[in-house]
Chains A and B, each alone.
Chain A
Amino acid sequence: MTMFSSRNWREYPQRYRLEASKFKKSGKAYLPPRSVDPKTGDTEFETVRLPDTGKIVTYTIIRTAPSQWGDEAPYAVAITELVDGTRLMGQVTDCDVEAVKIGMEVRIEFRRVQSEGHHGVLSYGYKFVPKWY
Chain B
Amino acid sequence: MRDVCVVGVGMSQWGEVWRKSLRQLFVDAALEAINNSGVDRLDSLYVGCMSSGLFVGQEHVGALMADYLGMPGLPALRVESACASGGLAVRQAFIEVACGMSEIIMAAGVEKMTDCSGSDATFALATAADQEYEVFHGATFPGLYAMMAHAHMDEYGTTREMLSAVSVKNHKNGAKNPAAQYPFEVTPEQVAKSVMIADPLRILDCSPITDGAAAVIVTTEEVAKKLGKPYIKVLGSGAATDYMQLAQRDDMTTIKAATLAAGRALKMAGKTIKDVQFAEVHDCFTIAEIVLLESIGLYEPGKAGPATLAGETALDGKFPVNSSGGLKSKGHPVGATGVAQVVEVYKQLTGQAENGRQISGSPKIGMTQNMGGSGASSVVHIMEVA
Contact = CB atoms under 8 A, between A and B. Distances in A.
Contacts of A60: 142-143, 146-147, 150, 198-201
A79 B143 contact: no
Contacts of B151: 57-58, 102
Given A63-B197, A66-B119, A77 B136 contact: no
A62 B138 contact: yes
A64 interface: yes
Given A89-B134, A89-B245, A63 B126 contact: no
Given A75-B138, A77-B143, A64 B133 contact: no
A66 to B, nearest CB: 6
Contacts of B143: 60, 62, 77
A1 interface: yes
Interface in B101-159: 119, 122-123, 126, 132-140, 142-143, 146-148, 150-151, 154
B123 A66 contact: yes
A77 B137 contact: yes
Contact of B148 (A31, A32, A58): A58
Interface size range on A against B: 20 to 34
Nearest to A97: B199
A1 B123 contact: yes
A114 B136 contact: yes
A30 B72 CA distance: 47
Interface in A88-131: 88-91, 102, 113-114, 123, 125
Contacts of A88: 247
A59 B150 contact: yes
A77 B135 CA distance: 10
Nearest to B146: A60
Nearest to A76: B199
A67 B137 contact: no
A91 B198 CA distance: 13
A69 B143 CA distance: 14
B197 A64 contact: yes
A84 to B, nearest CB: 14
Interface residues of B, number: 34
A39 B283 CA distance: 29
Contact of B138 (A11, A66, A87): A66
B198 A62 contact: yes
Contacts of A90: 137
Nearest to B126: A66
Interface string B244-266: 01111000100000000000000
B196 interface: yes
A61 B136 contact: no
Contacts of A1: 123
Given A30-B248, A58-B148, A89-B133, A69 B138 contact: yes
A11 B148 CA distance: 26
B68 interface: no
A65 interface: yes
Interface string B151-181: 1001000000000000000000000000000
Contacts of B247: 79, 87-89
B141 to A, nearest CB: 10
Interface in B310-368: none
A77 B126 contact: no
Interface in A16-66: 30-32, 38, 57-66
B196 A77 contact: no
A82 to B, nearest CB: 11
Contact of A32 (B132, B140, B200): B132
A63 B137 contact: no
B212 to A, nearest CB: 23
* Residue among A68, A77, A113 having the largest count of chain B Cβ atoms under 10 Å: A77
A79 to B, nearest CB: 5
Nearest to A31: B133
18 contacts: A1-B123, A57-B252, A59-B147, A60-B199, A63-B195, A63-B199, A66-B122, A67-B123, A68-B138, A72-B138, A77-B139, A79-B246, A87-B248, A89-B139, A89-B247, A91-B137, A114-B136, A114-B138
Given A79-B246, A89-B134, 4 more contacts: A30-B248, A68-B138, A77-B147, A89-B137
Q: Which 6 A-B pairs have the closest CB atoms?
A: A60-B146, A58-B151, A87-B247, A61-B199, A58-B147, A60-B198
Interface of A: 1, 11, 30-32, 38, 57-69, 72, 75, 77-79, 87-91, 102, 113-114, 123, 125
Interface of B: 119, 122-123, 126, 132-140, 142-143, 146-148, 150-151, 154, 195-201, 243, 245-248, 252
